[in-house]
């Protein structure tokens, strides 16, 4: 289901990092997100609502202000 708040997201299971780009264009990485939390987020009927309840203010994060990519 498309979100009115979240443009796209990615997850790095080895680092347990959730990368989220919001429709505003701001990008954040959330640290220590367990795989089951990411799975629930990806399957949520409302990703914005899930994010607000289960991720925001629950995990350390930083805004991504440079063009960084996942290392291979």
Per-domain residue ranges of the chain: 6-64
CA distance 42 to 68: 22
pLDDT, residue 66, reads 73
Task: Give the residue carrying structure tokens 């009927």.
Answer: 45
Q: What is the pTM of this model?
A: 0.85
60 vs 67, residue with greater confidence: 60
pLDDT, residue 2, reads 62
* Residue 59 phi, psi (nearest 5): -130, 145
Residue 28 has pLDDT above 70, yes or no: yes
pLDDT, residue 18, reads 98
Share the mean pLDDT of the chain: 90
Instruction: Output the six-digit token pair for 47.
Output: 């990703």
């Amino acid at each position: 289901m498309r979100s009115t708040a979240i443009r796209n997201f990615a997850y790095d299971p080895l680092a347990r990092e959730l990368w989220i780009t919001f429709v505003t264009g701001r990008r954040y990485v959330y640290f220590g997100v367990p795989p089951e939390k990411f799975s629930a987020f990806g399957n949520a009927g409302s990703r914005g609502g899930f994010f607000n309840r289960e991720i925001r203010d629950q995990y350390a994060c930083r805004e991504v202000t440079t063009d960084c990519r996942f290392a291979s």
